[in-house]
Structure 1
Amino acid sequence: MKLLKTIPLLLAMLLAFSTLTLAEDTAEEIDNDSNEALMVFYKEVNGGKKFLDNAKGYVVFPDVKEAGFFVGGKYGEGALRVNGETSGYYSITSASMGFQMGAQQYSLIIAFTTDQALKIFMRDDDWETELDLNIALAEYNAEEEADDVDFGSNMVGFVFDSEGMMGNFSFEGTRFERITPDID
């Protein structure tokens, strides 16, 4: 019983002292942060630039924050790029319950390797990974070129530039939603 009273208190403290902010950045800030994240991606992932150049489109989430203590969540904002140009802005959110503890921050790119996958992503204002499409988390040898690997999916997620410790990464229960950030 004491544990049941302690968990809400700890959750409230986590939220109160968290650096996790849910305020939307401006379109210019999202684009600039996305460009910086792409530069890091190109340096960290062999063949990453060529892989994205061959993709039908990709969404860049330059600063996803995730935290949890039995109850957890993640949030980030990003830019959808088609033919190298921004064609929309999206948020990524997720909530989870279970044994988890920690916090991390990372960049995420989801590449759409087929026109159909890109159309499904762009079709609705929001969707969840289990309901619409499954995203393959890129696993490859650091010496391999990303553009030479068959990831076996028409949507491939790359997690990079990670800080902190959360224990695992999952797209399960992840929701993507179209947002309209301020112009300035």
Structure 2
Amino acid sequence: MNKYTVYIALSILLIAVLPLSAQEVENLEKHPGYINLESIRIPKNAGKITDITLGPALLKIASMFRDSEDETGELIGKNLSGLLSIRVKSFEVRDSKGMKELEPMIARIQEQLNKDKWEHVVRVKEEDAFTNISVRYIKDKAVGFLLMTWDPKGEATFINVVGGIRLEDLAAMGLGLQGSAMDSLRKALKENY
């Protein structure tokens, strides 16, 4: 197969899968595992910034690899199959003013988690740094995952995964967790699954 055939095939695939209707976006926002991370405003003086949105269309494409003969493709496809959205916001907080701006936004998300009965799986506090991992269940199935970690002297990270979630796959991916936060996630999964 020449490279032009590959380009044409990929273009057709993207045209078929990528367009998101307003209905699909609205459905995602109404999904019980969805948390609106747009309410987290990145401070103007933030340092390093990572802002990633993988919506239903891109995740459908990635999940097509689950039957791949390639081991990496199969692992990616298996882990992403059933997911509707992955949203990541991560940035350096350079001063206490930036963290002060975040506090009410974080409090609103915490209120929503409590109101919607998300289960808090991991809570770690080390000095002034916090990590919270919460999971939303519907009929014993995980449909939403939220990681919030912030350190007033460094970085804030928010990750929302929406859809049919296998928590053991999330733990295998690591999600950038290190130290006691990752240990706590593994321990919680071992105890509950």
**Structure of greater Rg:** 2
TM-score above 0.5, yes or no: no
Q: With CA pairs under 8 Å and 6+ residues apart, which has the higher RCO, 1 or 2?
A: 1
Structure that is richer in helix per residue: 2
TM-score for the superposition, normalised by structure 1: 0.33
Structure that is richer in strand per residue: 1
TM-score for the superposition, normalised by structure 2: 0.31
